[in-house]
């Protein structure tokens, strides 16, 4: 909520800047002014039964559409270029990632933000709040549809060295390893470091998800769930060509 409040302030500044630009476009300004006058005339035409008429509803629809368009552009732009972080999320230490830990893509960001129009219903993101309360990873409907999750970026102590292990029956051909870019290798290192500070059940769930994602990226088969952690350590050892443990 705090992150969104910061983003709303910045979006308000953006709206004001756009409005100032519209002031220089006399045709657009004249059209909006005429529409506003007609809406006001409809509102006061019958003092006994005040309400929005056709022009008032049109003006409201334009305002809502403009707000959603600006909000969609704002969040998709920042989440795509800034590794899932809008200025508000950055300020409070949050970010959006895919559920497998890889950076959020343009398509996923577009889906999660298009569904803000549903999460915001009936008012003040009530639908999104209910979804967050009943899902295991606090996901609103947009996150469920895009397979994304909002995470907290902690500032932990210096990470412990990554331990590796050699697994004779696990083979990683060069052509498969070549498909792992900097983002996948970073995910691998961070996962191995996090596993050491998690409970066995949490570590196993994380290892299964990450091992499956990396195996899919390499074009290979995911390891059995109980061997996921060993698989990740062996992959790290193969990438860095570290000697087998105990050799």
- Going from N- to C-terminal start, the domains of the chain cover 2-152, 174-240
Over residues 78-82, mean pLDDT:
94
Handedness of CA 225, 229, 232, 234 (dihedral sign): negative
Alpha-carbon distance of 228 to 224, in angstroms, equals 6
Question: In this predicted structure, what is the pLDDT of residue 141?
Answer: 95
| 143-164 residue pLDDT tens | 999 999 999 887 655 555 555 5
Tell me how long the chain is. Answer: 247
Contact by Cβ (8 Å): 39, 53: yes
pLDDT tens per residue, range 55-74: 667 777 777 787 778 889 99
Q: Which of 223, 239, 153, 148 is nearest to 194 (CA)?
A: 153
pLDDT band of residue 29 (cuts 50, 70, 90) is low
Say what the pLDDT of residue 44 is.
61
Query: Residue 163, exposed/middle/buried by CB under 10 A (0-12, 13-18, 19+)?
Result: middle
This prediction has a pTM of 0.64
| Whether the Cβ atoms of residue 97 and residue 153 lie closer than 8 Å to each other | no
Is the per-residue pLDDT at 19 higher than 70? yes
pLDDT of residue 169: 59
Q: Where does the chain have alpha helices with state H?
A: 2-23, 26-44, 54-81, 87-92, 106-114, 116-119, 126-134, 141-146, 174-177, 182-195, 200-218, 228-240
CB 10 within 8 A of CB 87: yes
Packed helices 54-81 and 26-44: angle between N→C axes, nearest 10 degrees: 130
Residue whose token pair is 């559920």: 99
Mean pLDDT of 98-107: 90
Average pLDDT, the chain: 83
Q: Does residue 93 have a pLDDT over 50? A: yes
Mean pLDDT of 177-197: 89
């Amino acid at each position: 909520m705090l992150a969104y409040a910061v983003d709303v302030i910045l979006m308000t500044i953006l709206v004001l800047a756009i409005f100032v630009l519209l002031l220089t476009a006399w045709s657009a300004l004249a059209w909006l002014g005429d529409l506003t006058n007609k809406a006001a005339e409809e509102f006061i035409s019958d003092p006994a039964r005040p309400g929005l008429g056709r022009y008032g509803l049109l003006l409201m629809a334009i305002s809502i559409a403009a707000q959603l368009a600006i909000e969609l552009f704002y969040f998709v732009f920042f989440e795509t270029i800034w590794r899932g972080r809008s200025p508000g999320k950055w300020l409070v230490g949050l970010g959006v990632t895919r559920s497998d830990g890889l950076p959020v893509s343009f398509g996923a960001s577009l889906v999660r933000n298009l569904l803000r129009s549903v999460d915001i219903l009936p008012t003040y993101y009530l639908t999104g709040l209910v979804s967050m309360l009943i899902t295991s990873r606090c996901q609103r409907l947009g996150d469920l549809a895009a397979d994304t999750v909002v995470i907290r970026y902690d500032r932990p102590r210096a990470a412990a060295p990554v331990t590796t292990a050699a697994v004779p029956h696990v083979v990683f051909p060069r052509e498969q390893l070549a498909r792992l870019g900097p983002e996948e290798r970073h995910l691998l290192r961070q996962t191995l470091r996090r596993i050491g500070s998690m409970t066995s059940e949490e570590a196993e769930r994380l290892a299964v998800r990450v091992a499956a994602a990396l195996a899919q990226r390499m074009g290979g088969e995911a390891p059995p769930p109980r061997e996921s952690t060993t698989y990740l350590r062996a992959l790290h050892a193969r990438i860095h060509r570290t000697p087998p443990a105990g050799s």
